[in-house]
Amino acid sequence: DTAVSQTPKYLVTQMGNDKSIKCEQNLGHDTMYWYKQDSKKFLKIMFSYNNKELIINETVPNRFSPKSPDKAHLNLHINSLELGDSAVYFCASSQSGGNTEAFFGQGTRLTVV
């Protein structure tokens, strides 16, 4: 069983389109995250949700909107896609409290053309 699964794995779309990336975790964790890894391989946190509530919202354009329908899901919707949005997006989950490890999904490679 895949602990953290993202769909789709690859996403190619045109500028200006709206797209969504879905993430699900079956680990029973209460915290989920979205990370962006750019072409230089820097991993930057975008959002973090704990029990469906937003707890971290880094400097991310308003075009990015996370949605957490329940603790096991955290989806990322992106409006009006731009060339600079091209990157690999990783979903992750962990259990809050103490220093616990996080589990990452396989990533979604988004290419905006």
| Secondary structure (3-state) at 111 | strand
Stretch that binds another protein, among 12-20, 70-78, 79-87, 102-110 (CB under 8 A): 102-110
C-beta closer to another protein: residue 45 or 72: 45
Dist CA 47 CA 69 (whole Å): 15
Residue type, 15: M
Dist CA 43 CA 36 (whole Å): 6
Exposed, middle or buried: residue 74 (CB in 10 Å: 0-12, 13-18, 19+)?
A: buried
- Rule CB under 8 A: is residue 10 a binding residue for another protein? no
Dist CA 112 CA 14 (whole Å): 5
Of 14, 53, 99, 113, which lies in the binding site for another protein, with binding defined by CB under 8 A? Answer: 99
Residues 20-79 that bind another protein (CB under 8 A): 31, 33, 35, 41-45, 48, 50, 55-56
C-beta closer to another protein: residue 14 or 53: 53
Q: Provide the token pair at 13.
A: 């779309």
Stretch that binds another protein, among 16-24, 65-73, 75-83, 92-100 (CB under 8 A): 92-100
Q: Which residues bind another protein (CB under 8 A)?
A: 4, 31, 33, 35, 41-45, 48, 50, 55-56, 90, 92, 94, 96-107
